[in-house]
Structure 1
């Protein structure tokens, strides 16, 4: 018996699949552009202008000249016999400063594992300031469920550097809790149970940036996560933003390639500046017109095969919730508890303050100095 998407009884997945299936052509076009190295013109004019404006602003703020359009060759060759010794391949310049790796380590410190007290369920979350973490609504759907979980930082392997114990924090929804079922996001307070080890504010935090233009279609993305509830992992290969759009019924979401597994729900999706561009929430299987879930050979997969070989299920893309839409939703949220509204206001002010992204990453440097 084959598996129908509707038989999984997941409204969240059905809606995600419907959104993606309506955009299969756009995703296919982006994938082709990535393979051929021709991603420069696949995004909308509106989004490209937002992206170029933001890149120019960031370059000036960092003391760099406004980046010109990348040339076909690195320099104009005067001797054609030397043509092709070195060159930029494709239409984008993919050279990165070496601090990309260091920034990534700091960005990863604030990402932790969310675990049920009985060890039955896992998710991923990340610190966003004021001892608050962000994850998915389907990971922590309400205050009662939140109390049944804890947040663990530092659950990662380190075989060549200093291995430190992990830090476990309890979750305190009475201090703050907000969740949106529509967006599938949640923000909840955590408690530093052991400030004498490494204080929680030394793990850094991530500002959610409302401004658009942080990424364009075809750009690489990076996902820090706890797949299967195991040690922290990062995906930096074969990952690209496949589709994003404004002004439609699906403007709250974006789609990207890149591996995730159960337990990766709530992971931050980063651009190459290690800014959060989305919160991961769903991997969408490929289906045919009859709603059958497909295997990697393109045929409907049976339940027996899916149980025996889950790796044979074909997935069309991952879906994430855009940070700009999360900020908008949090700003308009109504709270019955006054102190929750106050914390929301402090958080939004923190995220929008000048240099918030770099300050959040810089806070993580202190944890390395404390070792």
Structure 2
């Protein structure tokens, strides 16, 4: 018996699959452009203008020159006798400053594992400031469910440096809880049970940036996650933003390549500046017109094969919720508890303050120094 999408009784997955199926042409167009080195041509003019404007603003704030000319390390004129010694391959410059790795380590400190108290279910979440974590609605769908989980930071392996200590926080929805089933997003407060050990605010946090232009189609993305509920992992290979759009019924979402597994729900999706551009929530299986889920051989996969060899299921893309849409939804949310609304307002103000993202990453430096 073949595995039917409808037989899974997962409305969230069905809707996501419909969104992806209607955009397969765009996703494949971007994949082809990435291989050809022409990915910038696949994005809309509107989004490219937003991206270019933001990159120019960031370059100014960081003291960099805005120019397409060679850098001070290159000759003004090309010495053709040295042709072939070095070159930028493709249409974009993929050179990154070495601090990319250091920023990534600090960005990872605030990402943790969400675990059910009975160890039955796992997810990923990350600190977003003021003792709050963000994850998916399907990970923590209600205040009652939230109380049945805890949040663990520092669940990592390190065989060549100092072993990262683990910090466990209980979840406190009474202090703050907000969830959107439509967006599949939840934000909830956690409790620093042992502030004498590394204080929670020393793990850093991530500001959600409402302004668009953080990434364009074809750009690399990085996902920090707890796949299968195991130690923290990061995917940095074969990952690109495949599609994003404005002004449609799917403007809240974006699609990208990159490996994730069960337990990765709620993971932050980063651009090359380690800014959160989306929150991962679902991998979308490939289906045919009859609703059969396909295997990697292109044929409908049976239930028995899918159970024994889940790695044989073919996937179209991963889907995430855009940060700009999360900020909009949180701002528009109605709260029955006044103190929840006050915390929401304070959080939004913190995210929008100048230099918020860098302050959040800088806070994680204190955790690193304490180890």
TM bracket, shorter-chain basis: over 0.9
State whether structure 2 residue 281 is matched by structure 1 residue 269.
no
Tell whether 2:153 aligns with 1:153. Answer: yes
Q: Is the 8 A contact 2:157 2:164 kept in 1?
A: no
Could you say which residue in structure 2 is the equivalent of 1:313? 313
Residue of structure 2 equivalent to 1:227:
227
Q: Tell me the distance in 1 between the aligned counterparts of 2:69 and 2:19.
A: 34
- Is 1:127 equivalent to 2:127 in the alignment? yes
**Partner residue in 2 for 1:254:** 254
Shift of 1:69: 7.3
Instruction: Tell me by how many angstroms 1:80 deviates.
Output: 3.0
Could you say if the C-alpha distance between residues 17 and 70 of structure 1 is closer, same or farther in structure 2, counting changes exceeding 3 Å? farther
Unaligned regions of 5+ residues in structure 1, if any?
Answer: none
Cα deviation for residue 79 of structure 1 reads: 4.2
Could you say which residue in structure 2 is the equivalent of 1:323? 323
Q: Contact 2:70/2:76 (CA < 8 Å) preserved in 1?
A: no
Cα deviations across residues 208-252 of structure 1 (Å, max 9, x unaligned)?
A: 000000000000000000000000000000000000000100000
> For 1:153-183, what per-residue CA distance to the aligned partner results, in whole angstroms no more than 9, with x for missing partners?
0000011111132000000000000000000
Aligned to 1:84: 84
Q: How far, CA to CA, are the matches of 2:101 and 2:276 in structure 1?
A: 16
* Residue equivalent to 1:200: 200
- Ranges of 4+ aligned residues in structure 1 off by more than 4 Å: 74-79
Q: Which runs of 5+ in 2 are unaligned?
A: none
Helix, strand or coil for the counterpart of 2:228?
helix
Distance (whole Å) between structure 1 residues aligned to residue 67 and residue 276 of structure 2: 22
Change (3 A) 1:70 1:336: farther
Query: Counterparts of 1:144 and 1:337 in 2: how far apart (Å)?
Result: 16
Distance 2:175 2:124 in 1: 20
Q: Name whichever of 84-93 and 198-207 sits farther off.
A: 84-93
Equivalent residue, structure 2, for 1:297: 297
Seen in structure 2, the aligned counterparts of structure 1 residues 48 and 263 have a Cα distance that, compared at 3 Å, is: same
TM-score (norm 2): 0.98
Q: Aligned partners of 1:161, 1:168: CA distance in 2, in Å?
A: 22
Please say if 1:61 is aligned against 2:41. no
Deviations 1:179-205, CA, capped at 9 Å, x for gaps: 000000000000000001100000000
Q: Does 1:243 align with 2:253?
A: no
**Where does residue 143 of structure 2 map in the other structure?**
143
Whole-angstrom distance in 1 between the partners of 2:182 and 2:364? 32
SS in structure 2 opposite 1:66?
Answer: coil
Q: Tell me, what secondary structure is at the counterpart of 2:146?
A: helix
Q: Could you say what the CA RMSD is over the residues aligned between the two structures, in angstroms? A: 1.2
Q: What residue in structure 1 maps to residue 336 of structure 2?
A: 336
Q: TM-score, normalised on structure 1? A: 0.98
1:345 matches 2:327: no
- How far residue 42 of structure 1 moved from its aligned partner, in angstroms, is 1.1
The residue number in structure 2 matching 1:210 is: 210
Q: CA deviation at 1:55?
A: 0.1
User: Could you tell me how far apart the structure 2 residues matched to 1:215 and 1:32 are?
Assistant: 18
* Residues 156, 164 of structure 2: 8 Å contact kept: no
Distance in 2 of aligned mates of 1:94 and 1:67 = 16
Specify the alignment match of 1:361 in structure 2. 361
Aligned residues: 369
The separation in 1 between residues aligned to 2:78 and 2:316, in whole angstroms, is 47
Distance apart, 1:281 and its partner CA: 0.1
Partner SS, residue 150 of structure 1: strand
Task: Tell me the residue number matched to 2:24.
Answer: 24
What CA distance in whole angstroms lies between the structure 2 residues aligned with 1:42 and 1:98?
29
SS at match of 2:68: coil
Q: Which residue of 2 aligns with 1:168?
A: 168
Checking the alignment, whether the CA contact within 8 Å between 1:56 and 1:67 is kept in structure 2 is no
Deviation, 1:67, is 4.1
Instruction: Kindly indicate whether the alpha-carbon contact (under 8 Å) linking 2:139 and 2:265 is maintained by their aligned counterparts in 1.
Output: yes
Q: CA-to-partner distance for each residue in 1:84-124, whole Å, 9 max, x for gaps?
A: 22110110100000000000000000000000000000000
Shift of 1:81: 3.8
CA distance in structure 1 between the partners assigned to 2:367 and 2:304 by the alignment = 47
Q: Distance in 1 between matches of 2:296 and 2:222?
A: 24
Distance 1:172 1:78, change over 3 A: closer
